Amino acid sequence: MKSPSAIERACNYELAAQAPAVNHDCLVTSKEQVDSFCALLQTAESRAGSRSPSSPFPALQIPVEWIIDICDEQNGWFIGTAYAYMEKVGDNGKIQGFLHVVVPDNSNPTWSGNVQVEYRSLRLLECCDKSSQALFTEIVRGSLVPIDWHVEWCDTEDGGEEEEEEAFFTEGEAVYLIRLMNSLITFPLAEDGARLPNSAPKQVMCDANLRLLKCRDGLSHEARKYDNRINCSGVLDFERLVTEGVVDWSGEAPAPELYKKSPVKQASASSAEPDPFEPQISQVREAHLQKLTSLYLDMRECMGHALGERERCVTQRKEMVQTLVKFVFGGEIMQGEQLMLALEADPGKNDPTADSMSAVSRISKVLSELSREAQNIFTDIEVRKTELRVDLKRIKSKVREARAKEQELLERRREMQQQKQQGQQP
């Protein structure tokens, strides 16, 4: 039986009322919202005939006004506005949703186009019109993933007009991941680890203020009531948020039994006979360990380059500032000439951060190859690879900071050269 699309669910109150067990505002649809969307759908259907039949997208386009985040090719996120929603059947026979997006909005457009509703390239932030609220909620519920995570998030407490807000961490249990909103549905926990009585669910964004502690085996109680057929503990999403640097991480790996193990390994564990494939598995394991060791050494070298470049930039900046102060405020002409000679002698061509960036790119390529062969890597290797990716993220950030400081220094050199040329003109 064909499953209903988001539009069909949004205009059918019986389907829209089948909300998850957690009663949160972002997951619940009211009767008034369904009626308002039905009226909007009728208006859109009456205008559908005016669209060109040669368009690759269907004629039915539902007008909306949603605030979204859109990802570019460099994995940077930008605020945009969605003004239309449409659906079409993909090559796999499944219905795919698309949004017509303008960045940032129609008042000051810099980019526009149709983007597929997929959590890796688009995030839904807010619905600004009440007519399409039912559709917005149905699309959000379509990206709902039952999980059972132990997390912490940073809350703020207002201390009054005279006192500043005080930040503190709240420990809780995450029962749902909303992929398209990049957020969790959580419940706060007491000191003994039990859920607080009569506690309301809280939506927590997946950002630097969220800390993942542990991915527990099995589903939460609410997830089982929502759909008993789902047998997913969210390990892949847990690892994705950690490796991409979206959230903070306590350093504790997910439960080892949740990783995908080799079928050969499982078969040999249940039998007392020796595993004939154990030599091949050992060779694969040894090869991956050698790769990971090489990555570790390369990242140490990258870190040395980044730290050395940072120290060089700081020292050179201090010397330039001191020389410039003597020249400008002290009137020492010789200091100005020494500064110009130093700038001409070091044009910035020898940049050690370039070697660091090439090493980082090579590490990323090798890690991609390792991820494609993840089924042959056991739990200890998977955990080590996750730690390396987290370290790689930090190294990239430090290298970018060093290159930004170097660029700032080069711009100052150009300005001083221009000032010198202007001073030599009669």
Residue spans of the domains in the chain: they are 6-49+58-142, 144-258, 278-424
Burial per residue of 270-292, b for 16 or more beta-carbon CB atoms within 10 angstroms, e otherwise = eeeeeeeeeeebeebeeebeebb
Cis status, amide bond into 104, omega within 30 of 0: yes
What pLDDT is stored for residue 278 in this prediction?
Answer: 58
What pLDDT is stored for residue 124 in this prediction?
Answer: 94
Q: Which two tokens stand for residue 59?
A: 């004629």
CB-CB contact of 199 with 215 (8 Å) = no
Q: What are phi and psi of 359, to 5 degrees?
A: -65, -40
Residue 179 CA, chain-centre distance (Å), reads 10
Q: What are phi and psi of 58, to 5 degrees?
A: -65, 160
Q: Which two tokens stand for residue 176?
A: 């749902």
Strands (E), 111-199: 111-116, 122-127, 144-157, 166-178, 183-188
What pLDDT is stored for residue 286 in this prediction?
Answer: 73
- For tokens 């499944």, the residue is 94
If residue 354 lies in a helix (H) or strand (E), which one and from where to where? Answer: helix 352-372
What pLDDT is stored for residue 263 in this prediction?
Answer: 39
- For tokens 């997929």, the residue is 118
- Among 215, 179, 223, 186, CA closest to 202: 186
Point out which residues pair with 68 in neighbouring strands. Answer: 80, 124
Stretches in the chain below the pLDDT threshold 50: 51-54, 162, 219-221, 224, 226-231, 253-273, 275, 277, 375-379
Q: Edge-to-edge, what's the strand order for the sheet holding 111-116?
A: 111-116, 95-103, 77-89, 62-71, 122-127
What pLDDT is stored for residue 126 in this prediction?
Answer: 92
CB-CB contact of 113 with 101 (8 Å) = yes
- Among 72, 68, 97, CA closest to 82: 68
CB-CB contact of 67 with 102 (8 Å) = no
What pLDDT is stored for residue 92 in this prediction?
Answer: 78
Point out which residues pair with 98 in neighbouring strands. Answer: 86, 116
What pLDDT is stored for residue 115 in this prediction?
Answer: 92
What pLDDT is stored for residue 392 in this prediction?
Answer: 78
What pLDDT is stored for residue 279 in this prediction?
Answer: 61
Burial per residue of 386-412, b for 16 or more beta-carbon CB atoms within 10 angstroms, e otherwise = bbbbebbeebbebbeebbebbeebeee
Neighbours of 191 (CB within 10 A): 6
CB-CB contact of 83 with 102 (8 Å) = yes
Neighbours of 379 (CB within 10 A): 15
Cα torsion at 257, 258, 264, 270 (round to 10°)?
40
Query: Considering Cα of 295, then 297, then 303, then 304, what sign does the dihedral take?
Result: negative
DSSP summary character for residue 148: E
Q: Which two tokens stand for residue 145?
A: 């993933």
> For 276-314, what is the HEC assignment?
CCHHHHHHHHHHHHHHHHHHHHHHHHHHHHHHHHHHHHH
Query: Considering Cα of 91, then 123, then 37, then 45, what sign does the dihedral take?
Result: negative
CB-CB contact of 348 with 409 (8 Å) = yes
**For helices 133-142 and 31-47, what crossing angle results, to 10°?**
100
What pLDDT is stored for residue 17 in this prediction?
Answer: 74
